């Protein structure tokens, strides 16, 4: 695996059409999945990406495709997404998808009890999830000594290779007629009489009647530039991968302080499940009260850091200097050295079988988090033709294909099969009390 940066080769750069039906801003898992479903309806679609397809969080995440532990409103969407992932594989799109299951590893009964609510509504949706005894757990997990007493297990959860999956989907989109343009930062949206009529990019103006903002970390800034406020925090997670290793588990597993996922290359993607760095931006600081419940709940694992906005040029600023944008195409935060050291120590402690296995690559990504840790998937009432899909709060990779289908339906004014009230944009401004979803 090689992390994409602004030095990476450009693989998608279409000749820009003068007019399309839909412009998608952001070529991550959500944007590419939406383009995939729109193309199947025969719409003319352009995906604008300031850097590289999946250059940021969509290729830097853990690679989990899990139903386990989801927010109740997300679960049926995630179950549909699992079916879509399988379908992509059946169509020959190489995402690295494999269903090896998920384990939430518990050191004591109190940790296991935390999943009682999930088990209740999971059963209502007929999701096969069960509590494992210690004996049952260690028939699945190759670990000595036995560090955990029990686990939550969902056998048909999956995994994929993020750096492979989204580019493969993008190639399929391009073959289906979708225009995808890397190195194509959007300067601003063109809005006349509260109706979207196009976008201005660094490569020219394109007319359209519908725009989807799914720019992850950058979404809030773009929306702010047109007077639309979206509360969003930037959260950094450091991740690593090992060399080929002894077999542990064929899927995803996470305990109180360590997470690991089997890779196609025989190694493991590893991360700390109790350490995140929070970087408030100028925009999020103005709405910090909205984030206080989330920050209090996750205070033990969130470390506040100063975010140097000058280090990352905002391409959605109408005064953006494109020479600076060209040098900052892909947000590439450096992994935190102390976090990687701690990760290595924990891996050796709880999984001694991994002691001789080297870590061969480290990276970091910026997660776009909302105040309630569930995404926005909605239209914007006061701006006809504007749609938002962002704030997936570290849960977006697995649910991405179904989220793309949802957004494609919303853009075409089709009725959704799912209750989307939990994901409405107006919940941050209509006086509703926010209900926290699963932790980031």
Read off the pLDDT of residues 109-120 as tens digits, 9 standing for 90 and up. Answer: 999 999 999 999
Q: Is residue 185 part of a domain?
A: yes
**How far apart, in whole angstroms, are the C-alpha atoms of residue 321 and residue 92?**
41
**How far apart, in whole angstroms, are the C-alpha atoms of residue 359 and residue 289?**
39
pTM: 0.95
Q: Which structure tokens are listed for 289? A: 């009260």
Q: Is residue 228 part of a domain?
A: yes
What pLDDT shows up at residue 311?
A: 46
In three-state form (DSSP H/G/I as H, E/B as E, the rest C), the secondary structure along 360-384 is: EEEEEEEEEECCCCCCEEEECCCCE
Peptide linkage before 3 cis (omega within 30 of 0): no
Q: Which structure tokens are listed for 19? A: 């007019």
> Length of the chain in residues, anyone?
440
Query: CB–CB of 28/57 below 8 Å?
Result: yes
Q: Is residue 57 part of a domain?
A: yes
Q: Is residue 438 part of a domain?
A: no
What pLDDT shows up at residue 440?
A: 83
Q: Is residue 244 part of a domain?
A: yes
CATH code of the domain containing 43: 3.50.50.60
223: domain range? 22-428
- The C-alpha angle with vertex 160 and arms to 155 and 161, in degrees rounded to 5, equals 150
Q: Is residue 13 part of a domain?
A: no
Q: Is residue 11 part of a domain?
A: no
What pLDDT shows up at residue 321?
A: 55
In three-state form (DSSP H/G/I as H, E/B as E, the rest C), the secondary structure along the chain is: CCCCCCCCCCCCECCCCCECCEEEECCCHHHHHHHHHHHHCCCCEEEECCCCCCCCHHHHCCCEECCCCCCCCCHHHHHHHHHHHHHHHHCCCCCCCECCCEEEEECCHHHHHCCHHHHHHHHHCCCCCEEECHHHHCCCCCCCCCCCCEEEEECCCEECCHHHHHHHHHHHHHHCCCEEECCCCEEEEEEECCEEEEEEECCEEEECCEEEECCHHHHHHHHHHCCCCCCCEEEEEEEEEECCCCCCCCCEEECCCCEEEECCCCCEEEECCCCEEEECCHHHHCCHHHHHHHHHHCCCCEEECCCCHHHCCCCCCCCCCHHHHHCCCCCCCCCCHHHHHHHHHHHHHHCHHHCCCCEEEEEEEEEEECCCCCCEEEECCCCECEEEEECCCCCHHHHHHHHHHHHHHHHCCCCCCCCCHHHCHHHHCCCCCCCCCCCC
What pLDDT shows up at residue 177?
A: 97
What pLDDT shows up at residue 27?
A: 98
DSSP 329: S
pLDDT in tens, the chain (440 residues): 678 888 899 999 999 999 999 999 999 999 999 999 999 999 999 999 999 999 999 999 999 999 999 999 999 999 999 999 999 999 999 999 999 999 999 999 999 999 999 999 999 999 999 999 999 999 999 998 889 999 999 999 999 999 999 999 999 999 999 999 999 999 899 999 999 999 999 999 999 999 999 999 899 989 988 999 999 988 999 999 999 999 999 999 999 999 999 999 999 999 999 999 988 777 677 778 888 888 888 888 888 887 655 445 555 554 555 555 666 789 999 999 999 999 999 999 999 999 999 999 999 999 999 999 999 999 999 999 999 999 999 999 999 999 999 999 999 999 999 999 999 999 999 999 999 998 88
What pLDDT shows up at residue 310?
A: 43
Total tally of structural domains belonging to the chain? 1
Residues 6+ apart with CB under 8 A from 123: 129
HSE-CB of 270 using CA atoms within 13 angstroms? 32
**How far apart, in whole angstroms, are the C-alpha atoms of residue 157 and residue 64?**
8
Q: Is residue 336 part of a domain?
A: yes
């Amino acid at each position: 695996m090689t992390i994409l940066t602004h030095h990476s080769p450009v693989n998608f750069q279409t000749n820009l059409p003068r007019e399309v039906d839909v412009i998608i801003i952001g070529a991550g898992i959500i944007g590419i999945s939406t383009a995939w479903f729109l193309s199947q309806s025969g719409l003319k679609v352009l995906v604008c990406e300031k850097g590289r397809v999946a250059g940021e969080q969509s290729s830097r995440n853990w690679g989990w495709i899990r139903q386990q532990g989801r927010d109740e409103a997300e679960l049926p969407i995630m179950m549909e997404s699992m079916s879509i992932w399988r379908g992509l594989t059946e169509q020959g799109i190489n995402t690295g998808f494999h269903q090896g299951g998920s384990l939430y590893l518990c050191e004591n009964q109190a940790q296991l009890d935390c999943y009682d609510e999930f088990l209740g509504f999971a059963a209502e949706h007929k999701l096969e999830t069960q509590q494992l005894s210690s004996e049952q757990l260690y028939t699945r997990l190759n670990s000595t000594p036995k560090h955990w007493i029990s686990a939550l297990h969902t056998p048909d959860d999956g995994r994929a290779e993020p750096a492979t999956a989204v580019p493969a989907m993008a190639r399929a989109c391009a073959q289906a007629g979708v225009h995808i343009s890397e190195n194509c930062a959007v300067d601003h949206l063109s809005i006349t009489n509260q109706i979207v009529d196009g976008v201005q990019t660094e490569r020219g103006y394109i007319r359209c009647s519908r725009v989807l903002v799914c720019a992850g970390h950058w979404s809030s800034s773009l929306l702010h530039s047109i007077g639309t406020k979206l509360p969003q925090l930037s959260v950094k997670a450091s991740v690593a991968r090992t060399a080929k290793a002894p077999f542990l588990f064929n899927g995803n597993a996470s305990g109180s302080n360590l997470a690991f996922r089997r890779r196609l290359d025989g190694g493991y993607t590893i991360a700390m499940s109790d350490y995140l760095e929070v970087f408030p931006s100028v925009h999020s600081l103005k709405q910090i009260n909205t984030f206080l419940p989330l920050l209090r709940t996750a205070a033990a694992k969130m470390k506040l850091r100063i975010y140097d906005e000058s280090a990352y040029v905002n391409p959605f600023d109408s005064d953006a200097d494109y020479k600076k944008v060209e040098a900052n195409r892909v947000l590439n935060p450096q992994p935190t050295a102390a976090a990687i050291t701690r990760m290595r120590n924990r891996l050796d402690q709880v999984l001694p079988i991994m002691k001789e296995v080297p870590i061969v690559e480290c990276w970091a990504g910026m997660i776009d988090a909302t105040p309630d840790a569930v995404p926005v998937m909605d239209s914007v009432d006061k701006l006809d033709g504007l749609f938002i899909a962002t704030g997936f709060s570290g849960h977006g990779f697995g649910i991405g294909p179904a989220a793309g289908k949802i957004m494609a339906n919303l853009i075409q004014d089709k009725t959704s099969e799912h209750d989307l009230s939990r994901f409405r944009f107006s919940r941050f401004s209509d006086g509703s009390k926010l209900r926290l979803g699963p932790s980031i």
